[in-house]
Amino acid sequence: MTTSYDVESVPAALRVRELMTTGLLSQAVSVLCELNVPDVLSIPRSNTDIAEEVDADAEGLLPFLRAACAAGVLSEPAPRTFELTEVGQVLKSDHPTSMRNMCALTCREEFNRTWANAIHTARTGEPCFSVPYGKPFFEYMASNREFATLFDKAMTSSAAVDNLLSSYDFSRARHVVDVGGGRGAMLASLLKNNPHLTGTLLDLPHVVANAEGIMAEAGVADRVTLVPGSFFDEIPPAGDVYLLSRVIGNWNDADSLRILAAVRAVMKPDSRMVIVGQMPSASDRTHYPRQLDLYMFALLGARLRSYDEYQELFTQVNLTATDQWNFPDSESVLEARPA
Ligand SMILES: C[S@@+](CC[C@H](N)C(=O)[O-])C[C@H]1O[C@@H](n2cnc3c(N)ncnc32)[C@H](O)[C@@H]1O
């Protein structure tokens, strides 16, 4: 967010008033993304022009455009004319690190209703997603295809894939089992970049059902086995590497231990577990890890874990951490092997 004043010179009550309405800026950016406004802003355009192209009301759009200016993703170089700032470029759907789907996801009704019940989490230590929805987050997703599709798309993070590819050496592995691998974007990249590898993708049936196209597009479909199922039931055997990307961070300790133990049970003595996820560190440049920690707890009852906390979990299932690669903003890759 951009502030045009010297923060220290503004009275506390005004700063708190701004703080308490800051969430509206993200809502405004989300609305603009849903209307595809960033995609029509390759040149500066008036609110009337934009409204006509995205089928909105010119006056109705104006406060959203100006809120997005306050958020730093648009600017208003002339009255009622708007353009994307450098930061705002990532809102375009064809940007290589597009955040469009993430913006669309985080302002969904599902999240707003979760936050409206956040006090339940603070009082009880339980996730509050199930207060308005009557079931845990991933169960809800299984029954809501539209939300699940958006979630899966938003989870396609090129940063996580790049981090994994640039850090972990897959040259000695032959078969990778991606546990909770989503629609398989990470596994597809991995196999594309490592022609000697074969892979198995395990995720819930409604998620795996969408993986075929992604594998075919990457040209790796003939090297992948798709396994619809639950990691609480059965883990496919014969993996040299068991990849758990942004999976353990979604579960509390008891469930995480169930998943880790299930994977450990099928690991060979020379198999490796590779965990990709967020581990807060002193080098984080944004508040995002703090915010994600809150998200994980409210939605799923889970916490971001540090390296030492992972090691504590590993010890309980006869695993030991062997290597770690840290990237800026709490992204990490962690290797573990049978103890
Ligand atoms: C945050 S996403 C991560 C997806 C992917 N690994 C990535 O890094 O992009 C968590 C994944 O866990 C999957 N999942 C949740 N419960 C599961 C279960 N019981 N069995 C298998 N997968 C599950 C979800 O469907 C989702 O794809």
pLDDT above 90 coverage of the chain, percent: 76
* pLDDT (0 to 100) of residue 157: 63
Highest mean pLDDT among 153-167, 258-272, 322-336: 258-272
Nearest atom in ligand 1 to 148's CA: 25
Which residue reads 């938003």 in tokens?
Answer: 154
Find the DSSP H helices in 107-169.
Answer: 109-116, 118-124, 130-133, 137-142, 145-154, 158-167
What's the mean pLDDT in 126-147? 93
Instruction: List all residues 6 or more positions away from 160 whose beta carbon is below 8 Å from its beta carbon.
Output: 186, 245, 246, 276, 331
Whether residue 155 has its Cβ less than 6 Å from ligand 1: yes
* Residue in this structure with the two tokens 């409206």, named with its chain if needed: 116
pLDDT bucket at 142, cuts 50 / 70 / 90 = confident
What's the CA angle centered on 108, arms 81 and 34, to 5 degrees? 30
Instruction: Pick the atom of ligand 1 nearest to 160's CA.
Output: 8
Distance 140 CA to ligand 1 centre (A): 13
Whether the pLDDT of residue 173 is over 80: the answer is: yes
Handedness of CA 208, 100, 288, 285 (dihedral sign): positive
pLDDT at 228: 97
- Chain-wide mean pLDDT for the chain? 92
Reading the block at residue 112, the tokens are 């707003």
Cβ of residue 211 lying under 6 Å from some atom of ligand 1: no
Determine which residue's CA is closest to atom 12 belonging to ligand 1.
Answer: 180
Asked whether 248 and 259 are in contact (CB, 8 A), the reply is: yes
The candidate with the shortest Cα–Cα distance to 156, out of 200, 209, 97, is 97
Six-digit token string for 15: 């700063």
Task: Say how many Å lie between the CA of residue 60 and the centre of ligand 1.
Answer: 38
For ligand 1, say whether the CB of 247 is within 6 Å of any of its atoms.
Answer: yes
The best mutation among 247, 292, 333 to test binding of ligand 1, ranked by most ligand atoms within 8 Å of the C-beta, falls on 247
- H runs (alpha helix) in 194-306: 205-208, 211-218, 253-266, 288-300
Residue 278 pLDDT exceeds 70: yes
pLDDT over 90 at 268, yes or no: yes
Nearest CA to ligand 1 atom 26: 182
Distance CA 3, CA 12 (A): 15
Distance 248 CA to ligand 1 centre (A): 9
CA of 208 to the centre of ligand 1 (A): 10
Q: How far is the CA of 294 from the centre of ligand 1 (A)?
A: 19
pLDDT at residue 312 greater than cutoff 60: yes
For residue 262, is pLDDT > 90?
A: yes
Name the residue at shortest CA distance from atom 14 of ligand 1.
180
**Ligand 1 center from residue 181 Cα (angstroms):** 6
Instruction: Work out the pLDDT band at 133, boundaries 50, 70, 90.
Output: very high
Q: Which atom number of ligand 1 is nearest to the Cα of residue 157?
A: 9
Mean pLDDT of 163-184: 94
* 8 Å CB contact between 50 and 57: no
Atom 8 of ligand 1 has which residue's CA nearest to it?
245
pLDDT in tens, 26-74: 999 999 999 999 999 999 999 999 999 999 999 999 999 999 999 999 9
Residue 282, pLDDT above cutoff 90: no
Please report which helix (H) or strand (E) contains residue 21, including its range: helix 12-21
Mention every residue, 6+ apart, whose C-beta is less than 8 A from residue 208. Answer: 183, 184, 201, 202, 226, 227, 228
- How many angstroms does the Cα of residue 246 sit away from the middle of ligand 1? 8
- The answer to whether residue 5 scores a pLDDT higher than 70 is no
Q: How far apart are CA 254 and CA 12, in angstroms?
A: 42
> What would the pLDDT profile of 197-211 be if each residue is shown by its tens digit?
999 999 999 899 989
Q: Whose CA is nearest to atom 16 of ligand 1?
A: 138
pLDDT digits (tens, 9 = 90+) for 208-246: 998 999 999 999 999 999 999 999 999 999 999 999 999
Delineate the domains of the chain, giving CATH numbers in brackets: 7-103 (1.10.10.10), 108-152 (no CATH), 155-338 (3.40.50.150)
142 lines ligand 1 (CB under 6 A): no
- Residue from 333, 335, 326, 301 nearest 122 by CA: 301
